[in-house]
């Protein structure tokens, strides 16, 4: 099965091709194969027999870098946007790049990151939102004990691989060898207090990093120090699987709006950090650049309670989720359908049943879902307030997945340059597993 760029591929073949890196011996990361002519010939024989997969996979390392909130359009329209992102551009030129990634419901950070490493939607993996209601109040789904589905780092460990994670969501208490989990008690924009992370980290790791990079100890852990931590772990331990979550771009896109000059500058800054990370990665590293969701400008919001009060309809039986709402009340659904006629109302499309079944399987037939109009977001609100008002944050996500796309790009040893069709976010983990040569889904 020799595949060349330009071949028409079905999704199974594409998966095969990314994971196996084709059969191009020269591009194989396996140093052993280049040591002697004899070994090289042997390698060719093995490849010819179609057995190259394992030899290559055993040696490759995977570095997954999530750039939070990086909408697919930043890469697709990089020239029109005049983005100075030389490292991302280089990876695009060398790697396999999907024509966008269709997210899950909700298109929110913690559930989506968990889908990237479990391959299943929120209901199945158990991380339903960023936050969970606990006896202590609302807090993040910090702990890996919340995970209901098998996760990539477990499968890697079971296969004898060494793993690392830097500010990856839902990793407090996870069986990860070098772990700086996303955990904070205080935040300053996208930065989180280092003390909290240290408390939950692999014992001694923060101290070790600081010995090599003293400025790691600034009180707020941001993308700069996330990068330092990653570089340290890559150089010192060379894990087989490293997961890094960069967040500064998302933070700025919320505040200044997606595609604003601030959001683009922060993406360019992220690219600078990426360059430093790539320079530190072992030679046999495959790098995957992913994101968790796209982004929309949302300068207005609809106060749903005030809207219902004005229409004199009971607001019961309606759940407001920001990027969409669900109503079980026929009168509410009728009012929302009517509101669409008024272009200033902020109410968008009723989500067709086929899409509801696709993204929220198991939703009862009585439920009807609506999404906000472009530029709007739903807020629960209070009955007395203004119906449509301007929002404090200029950018938002959490919308219905079809409205934007996330990113998937993979480059490195054995990965051929190619355009891939649009990808389902739940498929990313299969590619990750294949790069490091582990079975997915893992055997329970």
List residues binding Zn ion (CB under 5 A): 68-69, 109, 250, 292
Q: Closest CB to Zn ion among 127 and 304?
A: 127
Q: How far is the CB of 250 from Zn ion (least distance, A)?
A: 5
Question: With respect to Zn ion, which residue has the nearer C-beta, 253 or 304?
Answer: 253
Per DSSP, the residues of 227-282 read HHHHHHHHHHH--SEEEEEE-HHHHHHHHH-TTSHHHHHHHHHHHHHHHHHHHHS-
Nearer to Zn ion, 198 or 292 (CB): 292
Residues 6+ apart with CB under 8 A from 49: none
How far is Cα of residue 50 from the mean position of the Cα atoms in its chain?
33
Q: How far apart are CA 192 and CA 203, in angstroms?
A: 19
* C-beta nearest to Zn ion: residue: 109
Choice between 69 and 95, CB closer to Zn ion: 69
Q: How far is the CB of 159 from Zn ion (least distance, A)?
A: 29
Q: Give, for 180, the enclosing helix (H) or strand (E).
A: strand 178-180
Can you spell out the DSSP letters for 292-305?
A: S---EE--EEEEHH
Nearer to Zn ion, 109 or 230 (CB): 109
Pairing outcome for strands 388-390 and 300-303: antiparallel
Q: Which of 151, 124, 130 is nearest to 362 (CA)?
A: 124
DSSP 3-state assignment of 116? helix
Q: Which is nearer to Zn ion, 247 or 433 (CB)?
A: 247
Q: Closest separation between CB of residue 399 and Zn ion, Å?
A: 12
CA torsion 72→74→75→81, rounded to 10°?
150
Rounded to a whole number of angstroms, the minimum distance from the CB of residue 109 to Zn ion is 3
Smallest separation, CB 107 to Zn ion (Å): 8
Question: Measuring CA to CA, which residue among 29, 92, 100 is closest to residue 418?
Answer: 92
Minimum CB separation of residue 225 from Zn ion in Å reads 19
- Torsion angle, alpha carbons of 15, 20, 22, 27, to 10: 130
Q: Which residues 6+ apart lie within 8 Å of 142 measured at CB?
A: 170, 172, 181, 182, 183, 200
Give the whole-angstrom CA distance, residue 373 versus residue 352: 15
The nearer residue to Zn ion, 250 or 296, going by C-beta atoms, is: 250
Q: How far is the CB of 423 from Zn ion (least distance, A)?
A: 18
Nearer to Zn ion, 16 or 262 (CB): 262
Whether the CA torsion 170, 187, 71, 417 is positive or negative: it is negative
CB of 69 to Zn ion, least distance (A): 5
Question: Rounded to whole angstroms, how far apart are CA atoms 420 and 429?
Answer: 15
Tally the residues of the chain. 444
- The alpha carbon of 25 is separated from its chain's Cα centroid by a whole number of angstroms, namely 31
Cβ 113 to Zn ion, closest distance in Å? 8
Say if residues 198 and 168 touch (Cβ distance below 8 Å): no
Nearer to Zn ion, 29 or 294 (CB): 294
- Residue 248 or residue 250: which is nearer to Zn ion going by CB? 250
CB of 129 to Zn ion, least distance (A): 12
């Amino acid at each position: 099965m020799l595949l060349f760029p330009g071949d028409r591929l079905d999704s199974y073949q594409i998966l095969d091709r990314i994971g196996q890196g084709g059969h191009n011996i020269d591009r194989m990361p396996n140093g052993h194969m280049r040591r002697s002519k004899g070994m090289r010939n042997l390698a060719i024989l093995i490849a010819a027999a179609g057995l190259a997969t394992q030899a290559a996979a055993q040696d490759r390392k995977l570095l997954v870098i999530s750039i939070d909130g990086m909408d697919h359009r930043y890469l697709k329209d990089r020239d029109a946007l005049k983005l100075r992102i030389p490292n991302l551009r280089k990876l695009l030129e060398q790697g396999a790049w999907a024509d966008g990634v269709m997210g899950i419901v909700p298109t929110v950070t913690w559930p989506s990151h968990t889908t990237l490493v479990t391959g299943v939607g929120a209901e199945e993996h158990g991380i339903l939102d960023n936050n969970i209601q606990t006896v202590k109040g609302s807090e993040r789904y910090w702990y890996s004990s919340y995970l209901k589905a098998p996760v990539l780092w477990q499968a890697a460990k079971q296969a004898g691989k060494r793993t690392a994670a830097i500010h990856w969501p839902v990793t407090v208490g996870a069986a990860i060898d070098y772990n700086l989990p996303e955990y904070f008690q205080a935040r300053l924009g996208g930065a989180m207090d280092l003390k909290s992370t240290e408390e939950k980290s692999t014992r001694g790791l923060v101290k070790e990093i600081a010995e090599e990079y003293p400025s790691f100890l600034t009180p707020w852990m941001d993308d700069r120090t996330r990068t330092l931590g990653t570089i340290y772990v890559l150089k010192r331990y060379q894990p087989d699987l490293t997961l890094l979550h960069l967040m500064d771009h998302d933070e700025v896109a919320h505040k200044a709006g997606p595609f604003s000059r601030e959001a683009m500058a922060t993406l360019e800054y992220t690219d600078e950090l990426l360059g430093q990370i790539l320079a530190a990665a072992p030679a046999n590293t495959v790098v995957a650049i992913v994101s968790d969701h796209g982004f929309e400008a949302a300068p207005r919001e609809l106060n749903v309670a005030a809207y219902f009060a004005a229409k004199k309809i009971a607001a019961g039986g309606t759940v407001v989720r920001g990027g969409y709402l669900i109503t079980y009340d026929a009168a509410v659904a009728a009012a929302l359908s009517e509101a669409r006629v008024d272009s200033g109302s902020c109410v968008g499309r009723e989500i067709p049943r086929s899409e509801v079944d696709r993204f929220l399987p198991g939703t009862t037939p009585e439920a009807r879902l609506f999404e906000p109009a472009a530029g709007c977001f739903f807020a629960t609100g209070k009955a007395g307030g203004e119906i449509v008002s301007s929002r404090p944050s200029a950018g938002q996500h959490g919308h219905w997945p079809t409205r934007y796309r996330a990113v998937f790009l993979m480059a490195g040893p054995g990965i051929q340059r190619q355009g891939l069709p649009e990808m389902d976010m739940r498929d990313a983990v299969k590619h990750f597993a294949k790069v490091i040569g582990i079975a997915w889904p893992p055997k329970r």
